[in-house]
């Protein structure tokens, strides 16, 4: 594996050489669902293997410094496939402020099939070790930064703990992308993504991916991907490959914009609190410095209590109220009524996810325009 080539070189030159016959610079979209028996490349049926999807799978693995990749029909399908590794009574450990859909799947779907779970705060090392010591935990699902409070979890420390207790560590790297964070190099067994977000980056594909260097795990997951059938279509694979070509450029712009917006909001008199990894101090700040190249493009914000969050959101011009994140255009989300509505209010309150919190996915638009828009909406409250 070559680790020395830059991200954008790898994103643009992995597993596809311009076609020798016609010189096409861009790979074709292989739509064929089936292949002649005994063909040289070993393809048989597109659910179990497809050329366009393979280029994407290899490219994401390469960006993660992992050996193998699998592309799925959504980030949620990645979770479902990984959880299918478990047998009834085995247990998943995950965090109290994971993405709402992760919470929903583990508590309402896999739990009905006998898979046990435990929810903890991964920033508490003693609590994590206690849980691992006393439970049949096979799989640890860590999101970092978390959604929506953007807490960071020490991946190297989690990997050490996971392996001490013979569990697999899966890191959901959706918020950071391979550009800002390299979980495999810190010891994660599997790196998972909703590629719907930064990896594709244009809000036009729902997809997911995972990468690993553990061959045995890869073979099991590949078997499950084929058996369950939740793979990414050739066209969506092709669009995602196109998105990946500019991932490094886009991430730079997302973070440049987010850093300025976070610092503007932090100083504003109508703002109570800004959650942004670039502003963290103490242990959280040290983890960010250790494992993230830069703090990312996501910011969560609380207005002071006397201001009405819904009124504020309605005054914005460049931040449409919409679920999802990581696209080139800025979006704003109200977790309590949108992405995290599937978490009961009592649970949300326990983890500090207030009804007044909003989450900004900072896009690549002109920074001054974004700042001006936020400023006018705050002034007019």
As annotated, the active-site residues are: 47, 99, 172, 197
Closest residue to ligand PLP, judged by C-beta, is 75
Lookup: tokens for 47 = 């659910």
Nearest distance, CB of residue 195 and ligand PLP, angstroms:
7
Nearest distance, CB of residue 311 and ligand PLP, angstroms:
26
CA 246 to chain centroid = 17
Closer residue to ligand PLP in complex, CB, 296/356:
296
**Residues 130, 202: Cα–Cα separation, whole Å:** 42
**Residues 204, 197: Cα–Cα separation, whole Å:** 10
Among 338, 302, 340, residue whose Cα is nearest residue 323: 338
Closer residue to ligand PLP in complex, CB, 27/145:
145
**Residues 182, 205: Cα–Cα separation, whole Å:** 23
Closer residue to ligand PLP in complex, CB, 168/193:
193
Closer residue to ligand PLP in complex, CB, 298/377:
298
Which residues are at the interface with ligand PLP (CB under 6 A)?
74-76, 99, 101, 143, 147, 172, 174-175, 194, 196, 206, 208
Nearest distance, CB of residue 76 and ligand PLP, angstroms:
3
Whether 61 contacts 71, CB under 8 Å: no
Whether 95 contacts 120, CB under 8 Å: yes
Closer residue to ligand PLP in complex, CB, 64/143:
143
Among 298, 282, 301, 286, residue whose Cα is nearest residue 358: 301
Sign of CA dihedral 77, 123, 138, 176: positive
Whether 159 contacts 131, CB under 8 Å: no
Closer residue to ligand PLP in complex, CB, 117/175:
175
**Residues 198, 180: Cα–Cα separation, whole Å:** 11
Closer residue to ligand PLP in complex, CB, 154/172:
172
Sign of CA dihedral 253, 254, 259, 260: positive
Whether 258 contacts 295, CB under 8 Å: yes
Nearest distance, CB of residue 174 and ligand PLP, angstroms:
4
Nearest distance, CB of residue 150 and ligand PLP, angstroms:
11
């Amino acid at each position: 594996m070559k680790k020395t080539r830059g991200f954008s070189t790898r994103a643009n030159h992995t597993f596809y050489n311009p076609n020798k016959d016609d010189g096409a610079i861009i790979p074709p979209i292989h739509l064929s669902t089936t292949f002649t028996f005994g063909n040289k490349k070993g393809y048989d049926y597109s659910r179990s293997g497809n050329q366009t999807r393979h280029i994407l799978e290899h490219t994401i693995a390469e960006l993660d410094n992992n050996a193998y990749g699998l592309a799925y029909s959504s980030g949620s399908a990645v979770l479902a496939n990984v959880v299918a590794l478990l047998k009834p009574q085995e247990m998943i450990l995950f965090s109290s402020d994971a993405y709402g859909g992760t919470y929903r799947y583990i508590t309402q779907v896999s739990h009905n099939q006998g898979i046990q779970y435990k929810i903890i705060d991964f920033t508490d090392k003693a609590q994590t070790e206690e849980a691992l010591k006393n439970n049949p935990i096979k799989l640890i699902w860590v999101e970092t930064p978390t959604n929506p409070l953007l807490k960071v979890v020490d991946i190297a420390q989690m990997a050490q703990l996971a392996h001490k207790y013979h569990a697999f560590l899966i890191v959901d790297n959706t918020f950071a992308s391979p550009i800002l964070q390299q979980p495999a190099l810190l010891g994660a067994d599997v790196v998972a993504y909703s590629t719907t977000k930064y990896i594709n980056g244009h809000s036009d594909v729902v997809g997911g991916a995972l990468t690993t260097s553990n061959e045995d795990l890869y073979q099991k997951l590949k078997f499950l991907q084929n058996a369950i059938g939740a793979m990414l279509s050739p066209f969506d694979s092709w669009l995602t490959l196109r998105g990946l070509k500019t991932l490094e450029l886009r991430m730079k712009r997302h973070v440049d914009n987010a850093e300025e917006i976070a610092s503007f909001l932090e100083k504003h008199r109508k703002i109570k609190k800004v959650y942004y990894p670039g502003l963290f101090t103490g242990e959280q700040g040290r983890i960010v410095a250790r494992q993230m190249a830069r703090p990312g493009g996501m910011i969560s914000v609380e207005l002071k209590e006397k201001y009405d969050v819904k009124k504020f959101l309605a005054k914005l011009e460049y931040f449409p109220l919409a679920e999802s994140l990581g696209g080139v255009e800025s979006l704003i989300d109200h977790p309590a009524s949108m992405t995290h509505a599937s978490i009961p209010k009592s649970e949300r309150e326990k983890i500090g996810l207030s009804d007044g919190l909003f989450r900004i996915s900072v896009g690549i638009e002109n920074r001054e325009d974004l700042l001006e828009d936020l400023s006018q909406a705050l002034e007019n409250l």
